[in-house]
Amino acid sequence: MPLLELDGLRTGYGAVPVLHGVSLSVEEGETAVMLGLNGAGKTTTMISIAGLLRPWAGRIHFDGKPIHGKDARELVEMGIVLAPEGRHVFPALSVQNNLRLGAWPKRRDAGLVKRTMDRVFEVFPRLLERRDQLAGTLSGGEQQMLAIARGMMASPRLLLVDEASLGLSPKLAQEVFETMRRINRDGTTVVIVEQNAGVLRIASRAFIMLKGQIVYAGAGEELRRGGELRKAYLGTPD
């Protein structure tokens, strides 16, 4: 049974449809990647899964249970956490306090929060160095890391990351992908939205979204090797 399953998901904004029947599934323990051009509907898919946008039609199942229509808060408690596009850290709070807020769903388990914080600082040593710095004064790349790290603090079963490497240098992007791999190895199922095909290196499964539909679903490795395939859908051979 897949951990996450979308079946014929349709939604949009106001009266304007954006997703025209999106179906995909992700098994527990996988790292899945969704690629696609600007405006394809990737963020719309992520926020629909996270309960921030209501589906018009179709079904979303998490761990075999229907979750469409549940609100974001309930979904966080169930283990679905979104690191949203555009960083969204709390600028006036320190790095450490941003992380503490991320641990809100696990607030009753102080031991777990402490262990997760230690782990977060292990995978993001930069955040450890800057733990007392106000988040608003971090560099763009560091804020990106903090947004992902804050998602980790909730110890989610499913971590959705919308644009893991946007605006990062190639070196930093690889660092963040490597971190995502570690998070996955720790047992978290990960879905990453990306424009950088370099992420395929860490993907067990890949999807390409085009104009509100999934036009390719397959093994990450297959897409990594398939330059023609990527070129056809993404306009880039590398």
| C-beta closer to ligand ATP: residue 43 or 189 | 43
User: How many of the other CB atoms lie within 10 Å of CB of 129?
Assistant: 12
Q: How far is CA 219 from CA 38, 154, 197, 205, 227, in A?
A: 22, 28, 13, 4, 14
| CA separation for the pair 25, 130 (Å, rounded) | 37
| CA separation for the pair 179, 207 (Å, rounded) | 21
**Residues numbered 85-104 forming contacts with Mg ion, rule: CB under 5 A:** 85
For ligand ATP, which residue of 11, 31, 44, 143 counts as binding (CB under 6 A)?
A: 44
**Minimal distance in Å, beta carbon 85 to ligand ATP?**
6
**Minimal distance in Å, beta carbon 79 to ligand ATP?**
23
| C-beta closer to ligand ATP: residue 36 or 151 | 36
**Residues numbered 52-91 forming contacts with ligand ATP, rule: CB under 6 A:** 85
Of 146, 157, 144, 231, which Cα lies nearest the Cα of 193?
Answer: 144
Chain centroid to Cα 235, Å, comes to 23
| C-beta closer to Mg ion: residue 6 or 78 | 6
Q: Which does 55 bind (CB under 5 to 8 A by kind): ligand ATP, Mg ion, none?
A: none
**Minimal distance in Å, beta carbon 6 to ligand ATP?**
14
**Minimal distance in Å, beta carbon 37 to ligand ATP?**
7
For Mg ion, which residue of 43, 45, 116, 188 counts as binding (CB under 5 A)?
A: 43
Is residue 25 within 8 Å of residue 4, measured between CB atoms? yes
| C-beta closer to ligand ATP: residue 158 or 193 | 193
In terms of DSSP H, where are the helices of the chain? 42-49, 72-78, 95-102, 110-123, 125-129, 140-153, 170-185, 220-225, 227-234
Give contact residues for ligand ATP (rule: CB under 6 A).
13, 18, 36, 38-44, 85
Give contact residues for Mg ion (rule: CB under 5 A).
42-43, 85
